[in-house]
């Protein structure tokens, strides 16, 4: 009891004093070490003195860290992990109905393969096509199979704040460890609107939230400044960053603190994201190569860049070709090809175009997901990285407001070529209330052609497109191979 009183005096005048005040007049149980004598901060158990010292060093950040830990522990929820969290594709029968038996088997497969977390009912899970009852069934089955052994994150974000609160409360009731909440899409709220939206959801719900920023799909960017502000909320515990801009992770790690989880949403860039300070990836590739993705993330988190790069290179074809058509079309075809699920998918999505089958099979083979695929010559087919001639280019300009980058990528694919995004960077957003679509960006692309003539034709057409789209103020530079 003396320790409790000393701590209360030390914290007098701070927001924590008011929080502890009701406990001081309670029964002797209030002084138990489990209540006040130990605090969990950033995954470590610390004494009150150590916690107080941290609070003095970084008052706002440490306050958020303590409260976030208390929110998770008080409800008996599993804390968010580092490593590989799979953005799970929802198994369906050929007629599009839920395949609950296969869902159970796939969940157990991920547990055995070492997947660190399960993210259900996101874009990859076709949540927008599922009914309320179907979502409830997916959550219930996932909890039955993995509850208490692997953290379960449920996608609950919608265009409406009230609908998002309702979906998040549903996930909370069914035992989710956290909710993944995407920025409202299509309506393009300001930064103030985004902050108010996420704050309203966090205030209304008990389950911890992971922010999801994917401007390429939603049309709105959650700025670093807004993310840092929201990270102070005790129930906002992480971010899925699908901007493709790995320069953000360093500042966010510094300003949000070590306990705030930072996940890449871009499979091809996740290794580098973690090496720069991130915690892991919410991965589509992990649907088909769960063990390999988990190992890459573990190596990167441990600082083993060479080891992570070597293993991740075998997955490069999957990182690329699982997006040859809109997600989750390719990954659902790949899972069926592996014999893990049936081929079911719901309209308006349809099964993968046959033109991409051999290409994705080669990527599955390179990633160790299936055995060698017999080619026309009797050998095995190789992906573009192995046999196609390639040219690296640097594309700079106003790539987003004009739609130039999307048109370049579509041109390459429509002409039978392929591409690999090597690097992406963008100027900081200089508008505090709106996403600045006019900021300059640069993208390093490796363009593949079936042969030298096809590659030369692709480069010629891309140059022509850049010159025609004057509004993009674009510049293309061929990088010496």
pLDDT in tens, 5-58: 444 444 444 433 333 333 323 333 333 333 223 223 233 333 333 333 333 334
The confidence score (pLDDT) of residue 91 equals: 98
72-95 pLDDT, tens per residue?
544 579 999 999 999 999 999 999
Q: Which residue in the list 16, 240, 332, 446 is annotated as catalytic?
A: 240
pTM of the model: 0.72
Among 135, 212, 332, 446, which one carries the catalytic annotation?
212
- What is the reported pLDDT for 404? 77
Tens digit of pLDDT for each residue in 241-300? 998 889 899 999 999 999 999 999 999 999 999 999 999 999 999 999 999 999 999 999
Residue with the bigger pLDDT between 450 and 168: it is: 168
3-state SS string for the chain: CHHHHHHHHHCCCCHHHHHHHHHHCCCHHHHCHHHHHCEEECCEEECHHHHHHHHHHCHHHHHHHHHHHHHHHHCCCCCCCCEEEEECCCCECCCCCECHHHHHHHHHHHHHHCCCEEEECCCCCCHHHCCHHHHHHHHHHHHHHHCCCCCEEEECCCCCHHHHHHHHHHHHHCCCCEEEEECCCCCCCCHHHHHHHHHHHHHHCCCCEEEEECHHHHCCCCCHHHHHHHCCCCCEEEEEECCCCHHHHHHHHHHHCCCCEEEECCHHHHHHHHHCCCCEEEECHHHCCHHHHHHHHHHHHCCCHHHHHHHHHCCHHHHHHCCCCCCCHHHHHHHHHCCCCCCCCCCCCCCCCHHHHHHHHHHHHHCCCCCCCECCCCCECCCHHHHCCEEEEEEEECCCCCCHHHHHHHHHHHCCCEEEEEEEEECCCCCCCCCCCCCCEEEEEEEECCCHHHHHHHHHHHHHHHHHCHHHCCEEEEECC
The percentage of the chain sitting over the pLDDT mark of 70, rounded to a whole number, equals: 77
Highest average pLDDT, of 20-29, 101-110, 445-454, comes from: 101-110
Per-residue model confidence (pLDDT) at position 217: 85
Tell me if residue 240 is catalytic: yes
Percent of the chain predicted with pLDDT > 90 = 57
Clarify whether 263 is annotated catalytic: no
């Amino acid at each position: 009891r003396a320790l409790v009183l000393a701590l209360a005096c030390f914290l007098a005048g701070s927001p924590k004093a008011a929080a502890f005040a009701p406990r001081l007049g309670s029964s002797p149980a209030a002084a138990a070490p489990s209540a006040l004598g130990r605090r969990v901060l950033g995954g470590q158990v610390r004494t009150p003195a150590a916690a107080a010292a941290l609070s003095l060093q970084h008052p706002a950040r440490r306050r958020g860290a303590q409260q976030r830990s208390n929110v998770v522990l008080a409800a008996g929820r599993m804390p968010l992990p580092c490593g590989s969290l799979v953005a799970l594709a929802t198994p369906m029968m050929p007629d599009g109905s839920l395949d609950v038996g296969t869902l159970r088997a796939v969940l157990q497969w991920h547990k055995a393969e070492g997947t660190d977390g399960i993210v259900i009912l996101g874009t990859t899970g076709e949540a927008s096509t599922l009914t309320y009852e179907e979502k409830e069934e997916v959550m219930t089955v996932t909890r039955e199979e993995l509850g208490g052994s692997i953290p379960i994150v449920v996608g609950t974000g919608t265009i409406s704040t009230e609908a998002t609160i309702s979906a998040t409360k549903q996930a909370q009731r069914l035992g989710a460890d956290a909710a993944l909440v995407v920025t409202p899409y299509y309506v393009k709220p300001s930064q103030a609107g985004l902050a108010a939206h996420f704050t309203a959801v966090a205030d209304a719900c008990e389950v911890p939230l992971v922010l999801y920023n994917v401007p390429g799909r939603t049309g709105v960017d959650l700025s670093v400044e807004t993310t840092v502000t929201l990270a102070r909320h005790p129930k906002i515990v992480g971010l899925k960053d699908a901007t493709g801009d790995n320069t953000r992770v360093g500042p966010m790690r510094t300003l949000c603190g070590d306990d705030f989880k930072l996940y890449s949403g871009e499979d091809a860039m996740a290794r580098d994201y973690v090496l720069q300070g991130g915690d892991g990836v919410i991965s589509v590739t992990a649907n088909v190569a769960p063990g390999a993705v988990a190992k890459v993330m573990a190596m990167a988190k441990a600082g083993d860049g060479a080891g992570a790069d070597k293993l991740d290179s075998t997955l490069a074809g999957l990182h690329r070709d699982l997006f040859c058509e809109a997600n989750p079309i390719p990954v659902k075809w790949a899972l069926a090809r592996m014999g893990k699920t049936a081929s079911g998918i719901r309209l308006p999505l349809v099964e993968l175009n046959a033109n991409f089958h051999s290409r994705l099979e080669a990527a599955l083979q390179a990633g160790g997901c299936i055995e060698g695929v017999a080619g026309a010559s009797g050998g095995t087919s190789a992906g573009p990285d192995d046999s196609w001639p390639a040219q690296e280019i640097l594309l700079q300009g106003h790539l987003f407001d004009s739609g130039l980058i999307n048109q370049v990528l579509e041109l390459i694919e429509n002409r039978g070529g392929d591409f690999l995004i090597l690097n992406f960077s963008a100027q900081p957003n200089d508008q505090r209330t709106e996403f600045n679509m006019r900021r300059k960006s640069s993208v390093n692309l490796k363009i593949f052609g079936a042969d030298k003539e096809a590659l030369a034709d692709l480069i010629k057409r891309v140059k022509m497109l850049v010159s025609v789209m004057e509004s993009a103020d674009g510049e293309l530079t061929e990088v010496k191979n």
